[in-house]
Chain A
Amino acid sequence: MDKYYDPKDLKKFGNIKEYSPELGKKFFDWYGEVFQEGALTKREKGLIALAVAHAIQCPYCIDAYTSDTLEQGCSEEELMEAVHVAGAIRGGASLVHGVQMMNKTKELLM
């Protein structure tokens, strides 16, 4: 093993069942179910997944959900807007803690 994150590993995702077949199966069944057309469309779920993939910075998920959303007919603009949503929430989540910092500051300062 000479590198982390080999794109070819994405195709081997199913192999996680090797060490724990039952849990693996449960996960993949559930995963498959989650992405079915429901109250949200497959397309909407794909865009959410793409945004989350960026928030958690998983290169496998980014590849997978870029392909998926293109297949669902999403435009480049839609993909990028989803990434901005992820960025805004991440950035916002950091910044909103600024209030905590301010509270503490006010507590400590004269």
Chain B
Amino acid sequence: MVKNPVKSLKAQKHALGETAYQIKVLNDTESIGFSMPKFREKLDEIDLFPLKPTALEILQINMGKMCNQVCNHCHVDAGPDRKEIMTRETMELCLEAIRNNNFNTVDLTGGAPEMNPNFRWFVEQIREISQDIKIIVRCNLTIIRANPKYHDLPHFYKTHNIEVVSSLPAYTESRTDAQRGNGVFKDSIKALQMLNEVGYGKEGTGLTLDLVYNPSGAFLPSGQAGLEMNFKRKLKADFDIEFNYLFAITNIPISRYLDYLIVSGNYGAYMEKLVNAYNPAAAKNVMCRNTLSIGWDGYIFDCDFNQMLDLKVACGSKHLSEFNASELVNRDIIVNQHCYGCTAGAGSSCGGEVA
């Protein structure tokens, strides 16, 4: 068992707070304990290297690293001590990108995106541009309970027809709190009930509430459909909670999850599991092929994981201020050893399995 951190790696001045060091560790055969094939070679075998985008469909915007939680597995290294959040000026640049392109989805993430003081303004502006564009908020649930000023979030989401995607790694308290911190399970359950109360997750309302499951430990998720069935059964029976879909997501070995793997002695075995579970069909559908990820400071990345490793897109259009759709859609996606997390078993993306 590894205790939940109270501070981000960055605030602890931990070596893994440095992205270059993380990349070094991910490529260090000695600390992994076996000779791990390069991910790019795996893509090469199926003529997928260099990896190319298929379209620009989803704009995922990281509104900041600030969060009310300090989860053990957080790939963002988020927490209350992180002050990097998106400014209104950068949001204006996002709006311009949404206005001038054909994204079908805007996916708001963080940290806790709702903690950004301009969060609500930003959502309203997106809705002004388009009534039809899908807006997703990755809500950590406890934020709804964290302060009275957030209690009306379910109503706000509903008013703007936002899809809510929330993390719940288990339907038991001990397993959830072990990953996300003491008391998180109870608050998450209350928040889910509040979302249900306004209609989220209920049949016929059209208000989507999806759950994200990622393992609280050094193992891979298996069988999204089976997990969903059990979560539905247990949450309904124990707490009268309903939701739409469950996305099973593999923990990517970067940032705090990488630290957890190393400290708990599971690092080598976990990487081996990922490599052994490599699935070429999943590789074809990795989310970076139709997504762009925007950092709190307006830089552009292939995905949220590359963002956290500070691997900016490999083309001239590195920042929203120089957004060029044709350059971006023709870029080579940057891959590294952490990408094995997206291609294990049935694959993994922000929307769950991909194969």
Query: Which A residues fall within an 8 A CB radius of B?
Result: 37, 41-43, 67-68, 70-73, 75-77
Contacts and interface: CB of A to CB of B under 8 A. Distances in A.
A interface majority secondary structure: helix
Interface of B: 170-172, 174-175, 213, 215, 217, 219-223, 226-227, 229-231
A70 B215 contact: yes
B222 A71 contact: yes
Q: Which of B174, B219, B220, B229 has most A Cβ within 10 Å?
A: B219
B172 A77 contact: yes
B226 A71 contact: no
Contacts of B221: 71, 73
Contact of B223 (A43, A67, A75, A77): A43
Contacts of A73: 170, 213, 221-222, 226-227, 230-231
A70 B229 CA distance: 16
B interface majority secondary structure: loop
Given A70-B217, A71-B215, A75-B170, A42 B175 contact: no
B222 A76 contact: no
Contacts of A77: 172
Given A75-B175, A77-B172, A41 B217 contact: no
Contacts of A71: 215, 219-222
Contacts of B175: 75-76
A54 B252 CA distance: 32
B170 A43 contact: no
Nearest to B227: A73
Nearest to B234: A75
A18 to B, nearest CB: 20
29 contacts: A37-B226, A41-B226, A42-B222, A42-B223, A43-B223, A43-B226, A70-B215, A70-B219, A71-B215, A71-B221, A71-B222, A72-B222, A72-B223, A72-B226, A72-B227, A73-B170, A73-B213, A73-B221, A73-B226, A73-B227, A73-B230, A73-B231, A75-B170, A75-B172, A75-B175, A76-B172, A76-B174, A76-B175, A77-B172
